[in-house]
Structure 1
Amino acid sequence: MKATFLGTGCAMVLKRYNTCFLLEQDDNKLLVDAGGGNEILVRLDKLGVPVTAIGGMFVTHSHSDHILGTPWVIRAVGTAMAEQGYTGTFTVAACAETLNHVRTICEMILGKKMTRYFDKQILFREVTDGEKLNLAGFDIQAFDIGSKKMKQFGFQLDLPDGQQVCFAGDEPVKPSTEKYARDAKWLFSEAYCLYADRDTYQPYERSHVTSLDVGTIARDMNVRNLLIYHTEDYGPERRELMTREAGSVFSGNIRVPEDMETVEL
Structure 2
Amino acid sequence: MKLTMLGTGHAVVTKCYNTCFVLSENQEYLLVDGGGGNTLLTQLERAHIKWQDIKTIFVTHKHLDHITGIFWMVRLITQAMNQNKYEGEVYIYGHDEVIQIIHDVAHMVLQEKETRFIGDRLHLVVIGDGEKKKILNHEVTFFDIHSTKAKQYGFTMQLNDQEKLTCCGDEPYNECNQEYVKESQWLLHEAFCLYSEADIYKPYEKHHSTVKDACLLAEQLKVKNLVLYHSEDQHIDERKRLYSEEGLQYYQGNLFIPDDLESIEI
TM-score scaled by structure 1?
Answer: 0.97
Letter in 2 for 1:256: I
CA deviation map 1:228-253 (0-9, x unaligned):
00001122110111111111011000
Letter in 2 for 1:258: D
Distance in structure 1 (CA, Å) of the matches to 2:149 and 2:93: 20
CA deviation map 1:94-132 (0-9, x unaligned):
000111111111111111122010101000111111111
Shift of 1:28: 1.4
Does the aligned pair in 1 maintain the 2:25–2:136 contact within 8 Å? Answer: no
Shift of 1:42: 1.1
Q: Who is 1:210 aligned against?
A: 210
Distance in structure 2 (CA, Å) of the matches to 1:70 and 1:113: 19
The more displaced of 252-261 and 238-247 is 238-247
Runs of 5+ unmatched residues, structure 1: none
Runs of 5+ unmatched residues, structure 2: none
Distance in structure 1 (CA, Å) of the matches to 2:237 and 2:214: 20
CA deviation map 1:72-101 (0-9, x unaligned):
011111122122432311111000011111
Q: Who is 1:158 aligned against?
A: 158
Distance in structure 2 (CA, Å) of the matches to 1:162 and 1:27: 24
Distance in structure 1 (CA, Å) of the matches to 2:160 and 2:175: 27
Distance in structure 2 (CA, Å) of the matches to 1:74 and 1:160: 32
Shift of 1:3: 0.8
The answer as to 2:67 corresponding to 1:67 is yes
| Aligned ranges 1:37-48 → 2 under 5 Å | 37-48=37-48
Q: Who is 1:95 aligned against?
A: 95
Does the aligned pair in 2 maintain the 1:168–1:189 contact within 8 Å? Answer: yes
Does the aligned pair in 2 maintain the 1:211–1:245 contact within 8 Å? Answer: yes
Q: Who is 1:111 aligned against?
A: 111
Q: Aligned in 2, Cα 1:35/1:138: closer, same or farther, shift over 3 Å?
A: farther
Q: Who is 2:257 aligned against?
A: 256
Letter in 1 for 2:247: A
Does the aligned pair in 2 maintain the 1:228–1:255 contact within 8 Å? Answer: yes
Q: Who is 1:32 aligned against?
A: 32
Does the aligned pair in 2 maintain the 1:28–1:137 contact within 8 Å? Answer: no
2:45 counterpart SS class: helix
Distance in structure 2 (CA, Å) of the matches to 1:35 and 1:84: 28
User: What percentage of residue pairs aligned between the two structures are identical?
Assistant: 38
Q: Aligned in 2, Cα 1:158/1:211: closer, same or farther, shift over 3 Å?
A: same
Distance in structure 2 (CA, Å) of the matches to 1:161 and 1:48: 31
Does the aligned pair in 1 maintain the 2:89–2:121 contact within 8 Å? Answer: yes
Does the aligned pair in 2 maintain the 1:52–1:88 contact within 8 Å? Answer: no
Letter in 1 for 2:198: R
Q: Who is 2:86 aligned against?
A: 86
Q: Who is 1:239 aligned against?
A: 240
Distance in structure 2 (CA, Å) of the matches to 1:16 and 1:161: 36
Q: Who is 1:181 aligned against?
A: 181
Does the aligned pair in 2 maintain the 1:54–1:136 contact within 8 Å? Answer: no
Q: Who is 1:144 aligned against?
A: 144
Letter in 1 for 2:106: C
